Amino acid sequence: MRDGKILENPVKVKDTVEYSQGAIVSRELVDNDAGSVTAFAFDAGQKLSEHSAPFDALVNVVEGEGEFKIAGIAHKLSEGQAIIMPANVPHAVRATSKFKMLLTMICGKGA
């Protein structure tokens, strides 16, 4: 890594961000005009309140388990599972255990 960004060398995604007691930690791995990729580590019980984003967001759970509420429907995901949170649809995230996820947001056409 250079300047906190992943370069051409392989890394374990779950090793790019560490847990912090009672907190949510994030680390931006890629950020450019096309979109962003961010690794998150949630301590058990931590949550992001309901919000929406202007772009589709692909979530990949890389460790542990979390609950993703999308348009009022709860989805429990664990390591190796993924889900898309559609653009402009309210969603929330809650850690049912310590967990890590990779969030990929790609800007749409004309964005």
Whether 28 contacts 38, CB under 8 Å: yes
6 falls within a domain: no
Q: How many domains does the chain have?
A: 1
Residue 59: both structure tokens together: 């979530």
4 falls within a domain: no
Angle, vertex CA 61, rays to CA 58 and CA 63, nearest 5: 160
2 falls within a domain: no
Residue 33: both structure tokens together: 């005009």
pTM, 2 dp: 0.88
Kindly report the CATH number assigned to the domain that includes residue 19: 2.60.120.10
State how far the Cα of 41 lies from the Cα of 16, in Å rounded to an integer.
9
CA atoms within 13 A on the CB side of 49: 0
63 falls within a domain: yes
**Domain interval for residue 44:** 13-106
Could you tell me what percent of the chain has a pLDDT over 90? 76
State how far the Cα of 46 lies from the Cα of 69, in Å rounded to an integer.
14
50-90 pLDDT, tens digit per residue, is 999 999 999 999 999 999 999 999 999 999 999 999 999 99
8 falls within a domain: no
38 falls within a domain: yes
